């Protein structure tokens, strides 16, 4: 009897082993077409660079590194990888409220947060700018303002708050800020105290809107960005702050807008978990007076439905030529805000820029104002670079003298241009 039970167990074990090996072998066979693509490539689904086939050379370092490199290459091209990753990610998220991506945090009530190094440091308010870093940032931006002022062009700096700043209550206490002050606070303080740059702090406006209608989120739960309502109220704050410069700027009362809803199926954070189309949410759509009056410029058109064109410059135009012209150096937060920003200008040229300062673009567009928008998380890693002719308007030595005068006098002493 014992030998028979042992035999039955052995047959069962062999069957399991055969099924396991057969499954792995079948998946490897199915992976062969993808393995023929040996070059590194960017995955729009996972928003990351896929590993290429490592080069094998006849030296110790290459041979030692090859197995790990080949494993990454194989993992990125394994058959049905996306489906398997999606299934595992859904089980982790829905069953255990755990993230399957190191760059995404699952917060309370299903809220998702980006947690790569930039956003994690923004979330934690650490590290802060060192004095030399924030002073150099202030100098570089003030040099831009001076260069523009010599051409009668206004300049405004806007930080788009990261989601963790407006909705911190859904973040676990273990990831709460370790400093009361943030890099955004430091930047606004530097520009207010030592420069003539106009800044627009959107945080009070967005926090007020959130407080007055807590049941209507103004940021997406499954995406890093504000939604249409958040973009609308942010834009109205921006335009209201510029009206003393440009009195003919109009206004769009929220009571006169048309509000509808669609479904957001492709939140960037849901996509990073492999759950695009599975984790969905309602998306409010705000349209002023039933329609937008601006149209895409023929000289700089783009297709917003193509993710590959996200970073491509584009321009919008209005038939009201009495309105000012603008350039918006922006990031992804203006993907939604541009719907409303474009309503207030005769032309807006949008460029995905912060580090460089393309003076050739400015000379060509001849704007009345340059809007410098930067998302809060970029304050961690993005350092602006000016062309020599821009930096020449305010050298480091000149700015240090300004800082010393301010320290002694306790007032802003940047001279007018």
Q: What is the pLDDT of residue 344?
A: 95
List of residues 6+ apart from 314 with CB closer than 8 A: 296, 297, 300, 301, 302, 349, 350
Confidence class of residue 81 from pLDDT cuts 50, 70 and 90?
low
- Please name every residue paired with 285 in a beta bridge, in sequence order, or none if there are none: 260
Residue identified by tokens 């928008």 is 373
Asked whether the predicted pLDDT for residue 30 surpasses 80, the reply is no
Mean pLDDT calculated for residue range 322-327 = 97
Give the model confidence (pLDDT) of 15-27 as tens digits. 888 877 777 777 6
Res. 3 pLDDT band, cuts 50 70 90: low
Please report the pLDDT score of residue 301 as a whole number: 85
- Looking at per-residue pLDDT, the higher value among 259 and 340 belongs to 340
255, β-bridge pairs: none
User: Looking at residue 413, what is its pLDDT?
Assistant: 46
Q: What is the pLDDT of residues 325-357, one digit of tens each?
A: 999 999 999 999 999 999 999 999 999 988 899
Predicted confidence (pLDDT) per residue in 358-368, tens digit: 999 999 999 99
**Sheet strands (E) in 92-162:** 104-106, 112-114, 154-160
pTM recorded for the entire structure: 0.81
The per-residue pLDDT for range 204-226, each reduced to its tens digit, is: 999 999 999 888 999 999 999 99
Q: What does DSSP assign to residue 169?
A: G
Residues 269-283 pLDDT 10s: 998 898 988 899 998
The CA distance from 283 to 268, in Å, is: 14
pLDDT of residue 52: 81
At residue 414, the pLDDT reads 47
What pLDDT score does 416 carry? Answer: 41
285 phi, psi to nearest 5 deg: -120, 120
Supply the pLDDT for residue 293. 87
Long-range contacts of the stretch 356-361 (C-beta < 8 A, 24+): 356/384, 356/385, 356/387, 357/144, 357/384, 357/385, 357/386, 357/387, 357/390, 359/147, 359/387, 359/389, 359/390, 361/327
Q: 144 — phi, psi (to 5°)?
A: -65, -45
């Amino acid at each position: 009897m014992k030998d028979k039970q042992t035999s039955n167990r052995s047959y069962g074990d062999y069957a399991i082993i055969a099924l396991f090996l057969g499954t792995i072998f079948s998946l490897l066979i199915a992976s062969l077409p993808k393995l023929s693509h040996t070059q590194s490539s960017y995955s729009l689904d996972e928003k990351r660079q896929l590993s290429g086939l490592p080069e094998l050379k006849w030296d110790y370092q290459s041979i030692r590194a090859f197995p790990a490199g080949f494993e990454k290459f194989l993992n990125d091209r394994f058959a049905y990888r996306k489906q398997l990753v999606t299934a595992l990610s859904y089980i982790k998220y829905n069953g255990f409220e755990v993230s399957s991506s190191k760059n995404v945090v699952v917060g309370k009530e299903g809220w998702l947060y980006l947690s790569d190094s930039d956003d994690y440091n923004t979330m934690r308010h650490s590290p802060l700018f060192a004095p030399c870093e924030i002073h150099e940032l202030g100098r570089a931006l003030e040099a831009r303002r001076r260069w523009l002022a010599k051409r009668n062009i206004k300049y405004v700096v806007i930080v788009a708050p990261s989601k963790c700043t407006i909705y911190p209550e859904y973040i676990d206490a273990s990831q709460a800020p370790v400093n009361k002050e943030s890099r955004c606070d430091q930047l606004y303080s530097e520009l207010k105290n030592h420069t003539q740059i106009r800044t627009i702090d959107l945080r009070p406006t967005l926090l007020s809107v959130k407080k007055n209608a807590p049941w209507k989120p103004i940021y997406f739960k499954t995406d890093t960005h504000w939604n249409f309502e958040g973009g609308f109220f942010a834009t109205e704050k921006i335009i209201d702050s510029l009206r003393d410069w440009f009195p003919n700027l109009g206004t769009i009362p929220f009571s006169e807008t048309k509000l509808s809803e669609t479904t957001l199926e492709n939140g960037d954070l849901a996509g990073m978990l492999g759950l695009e189309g599975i984790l969905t949410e309602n998306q409010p759509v705000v349209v002023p007076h039933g329609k937008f009056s601006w149209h895409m410029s023929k000289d700089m058109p783009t297709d917003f439905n193509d993710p590959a064109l996200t970073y491509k410059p584009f321009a919008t135009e209005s038939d009201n030529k009495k309105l000012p012209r603008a350039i918006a150096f922006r990031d992804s937060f203006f993907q939604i805000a541009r719907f409303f920003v474009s309503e207030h200008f005769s032309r807006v040229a949008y460029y995905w820029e912060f580090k460089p300062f393309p003076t050739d673009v400015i000379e060509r567009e001849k704007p009345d104002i340059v809007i410098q928008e930067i998302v809060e998380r970029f304050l961690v890693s993005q350092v602006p670079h000016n062309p020599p002719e821009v930096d020449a308007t305010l050298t480091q030595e000149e700015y240090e003298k300004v800082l010393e005068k301010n320290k002694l006098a306790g007032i802003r002493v940047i001279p007018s241009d």
